[in-house]
Structure 1
Amino acid sequence: MAPITVVEGRRLALSNLEKVLYPATGFTKGEVLHYYATVAGVLLPHLRDRAVSFLRYPDGPDGQVFFTKNVPPGTPEWVTTAEVPRVEGPSRMVLVQDLPSLMWSANLVTEFHTHQWLVGTPDEADRIVFDLDPGAPASIVQCCEVALWLRERLARDGIETYAKTSGSKGLHLLAAVRGASSERVSEYAKELAVEAEKAMPRLALHRMTRSLRPGKVFVDWSQNAARKTTAAPYTLRARPEPTVSAPVTWEEVEECGSPGRLDLRATDIAPRVQDYGDLLAPLLDPERAGRLP
């Protein structure tokens, strides 16, 4: 029987704590839960009021991996949910609003993915995101080059940009925006991706065509569509090791000279938060949100 833990007055059954989920490092489910509890202070603000999709991997990244958007069966009644619009009709999704709901979700063994809008204003995007995905032999080094170009280009439009690792091979760029629909943000993001390809034709690519991607960085602008979700800041990823989609400084991006330079794992994050705080905190300040031209 799973041990019962009380988190801020909520009773949680946390199961299989000794189960190894990342065989390459021996990282257990208990350590996954400990990680999420440790980073809750910086993670929760980026989840709050956003419908959450879960990428679940209950037997580790080498086992079955599946995406859950609707409220999972057995969800406690105290977990907040919300009806969200979908192309195929509205559905009900989980909101991770507090530490108990975070730990309940983490017990399912999840990556956390969110839309670029809040549940209260689904018709208005409050984020723009670029997913920079390298095609071998390109690596995160080339992603950093493209990221620096995009940072300067966005700055010319008065939009301040922040970077985080994808937790996989690439890099994510994020900025807070206001006053625009997801459709308009997508159009703008595509315009910049096309500009990047024109400015750096040997390095950047705005099309998903697989045959074009070797040696280049795909500037994926499509995740700004209202239906799309992106890995949330500080989420663990279902990779061979417990890597994290973690914020990085622009100095780290500028100095990235080797493929493994920005690999960040669960054990790296608490010391970084201690040193830097939440590098993505400005995204949460409405006064710092930019307006699209």
Structure 2
Amino acid sequence: MAPITEVEGRRLALSNLEKVLYPATGFTKAEVLHYYATVADVLLPHLRDRPVSFLRYPDGPDGQVFFTKNVPPGTPDWVITAQVPRSEGPARMVLVQDLPSLMWAANLVTEFHTHQWLVGDPGQADRIVFDLDPGAPATIVQCCEVAVWLRERLAADGIEAYAKTSGSKGLHLLAAVRGASSERVSEYAKGLAVEAEQAMPRLVLHRMNRNLRPGKVFVDWSQNAARKTTATPYTLRARPEPLVSAPVTWDEVEDCRSPDRLAFRAPDIAPRVQAHGDLLSPLLTRPHTPPLPH
């Protein structure tokens, strides 16, 4: 029988705590739960009021991996859910609003993926995202080069960008936006991806042409579509090791000379948060966010 734990007055059954989920390092289910509890203060603000899609891997990344968008069976009645629009009709999704909800979700063994809009206004984007995905032999080193170009291009439009690792091979660039639909933000992001390809044709692609991918960085602008989601800051990823989608400084991006320099695992994150705080906190406060240019 799973042990019962109380989290802020909510009773949770936490299961299979000794199961090794990341065989490369022996990282267990208990350590997954401990990680999410440790980073809750910086993770929860990026989850709050955003319908969550879960990428579940209950037997580790080598086992079955599947997306859950609808409210999972057995969800406690105290977990907040919301109806959200979808092309195939409205659906109910989970909102991870507090520590008990986070620990319940983490017990399912999940990556957290969120939209670029808040539940109160699903047609209105509040973030723009670029997913920089390298095609071997390109690595995150080349992604950093592209990220610096995009940062400067966004700054020319008065938009301040922030970076995080994808927790896989690449880099994510994010910025706060206001007063624009997801469709408009997608259009703007595509325009910048095209500009990046024109400026760096030997390095950048704005379309996912598999035959052209080797040695280049695909600037995926499409995750700004209202239906799309992106790995949430601080989420663990379903990789052989417990890699994290970790916020990074621009100094780290500019100084990156080796992929290992921007590979962060669960035990690395608490010291980074202690040293830097939440590097993505400006996305939450959105100070002086200008409208997208027309």
Corresponding residue for residue 206 of structure 2 = 206
Q: CA deviation at 1:260?
A: 1.4
> Tell me, what secondary structure is at the counterpart of 1:118?
coil
Corresponding residue for residue 191 of structure 2 = 191
Q: CA deviation at 1:233?
A: 0.1
CA distance in 1 between counterparts of 2:204 and 2:264 reads 24
Q: Where in structure 1 are there 5+ consecutive unaligned residues?
A: none
Corresponding residue for residue 164 of structure 1 = 164
Corresponding residue for residue 243 of structure 1 = 243
CA distance in 2 between counterparts of 1:205 and 1:286 reads 30
Corresponding residue for residue 38 of structure 1 = 38
Note the 1:130-279 alignment, pairs <5 A.
130-279=130-279
> Tell me, what secondary structure is at the counterpart of 1:16?
coil
Query: Structure 1 residues 211 and 150, CA, compared in 2 at 3 Å: closer, same or farther?
Result: same
Corresponding residue for residue 77 of structure 1 = 77
- Please provide the CA RMSD for this pair: 0.5
| Paired residues of 1:132 and 1:171 also in contact (CA < 8 A) | yes
TM-score, normalized by length of structure 1? 0.99
Query: Structure 1 residues 288 and 42, CA, compared in 2 at 3 Å: closer, same or farther?
Result: farther
CA deviations over 1:118-155 (Å, ceiling 9, x no partner): 00011100000000000000000000000000000000
Q: CA deviation at 1:244?
A: 0.1
| Paired AA for residue 190 in structure 2 | K
| Paired AA for residue 234 in structure 1 | Y
| Paired residues of 1:175 and 1:289 also in contact (CA < 8 A) | no
- Report runs of 4+ in structure 1 exceeding 3 Å deviation: none
CA distance in 2 between counterparts of 1:232 and 1:267 reads 18
Corresponding residue for residue 19 of structure 1 = 19
CA distance in 2 between counterparts of 1:72 and 1:183 reads 29
Corresponding residue for residue 97 of structure 1 = 97
CA distance in 1 between counterparts of 2:202 and 2:275 reads 37
> Tell me, what secondary structure is at the counterpart of 1:34?
helix
CA distance in 1 between counterparts of 2:208 and 2:62 reads 26
Corresponding residue for residue 48 of structure 2 = 48
| Paired AA for residue 41 in structure 2 | G
CA distance in 1 between counterparts of 2:213 and 2:288 reads 34
What is the aligned residue count? 293
> Tell me, what secondary structure is at the counterpart of 2:242?
coil
| Paired residues of 1:283 and 1:289 also in contact (CA < 8 A) | no
> Tell me, what secondary structure is at the counterpart of 1:97?
coil
> Tell me, what secondary structure is at the counterpart of 1:284?
helix
| Paired AA for residue 31 in structure 1 | E
Q: Where in structure 2 are there 5+ consecutive unaligned residues?
A: none
Corresponding residue for residue 121 of structure 1 = 121
CA deviations over 1:204-258 (Å, ceiling 9, x no partner): 1101010011000000000000000000000000000000000000000000001
> Tell me, what secondary structure is at the counterpart of 2:141?
helix
CA distance in 2 between counterparts of 1:20 and 1:290 reads 46
> Tell me, what secondary structure is at the counterpart of 2:262?
coil
| Paired AA for residue 53 in structure 2 | S
Corresponding residue for residue 62 of structure 1 = 62
Q: CA deviation at 1:290?
A: 3.1
CA deviations over 1:154-210 (Å, ceiling 9, x no partner): 000000000000000000000000000000000000000000000000011101010
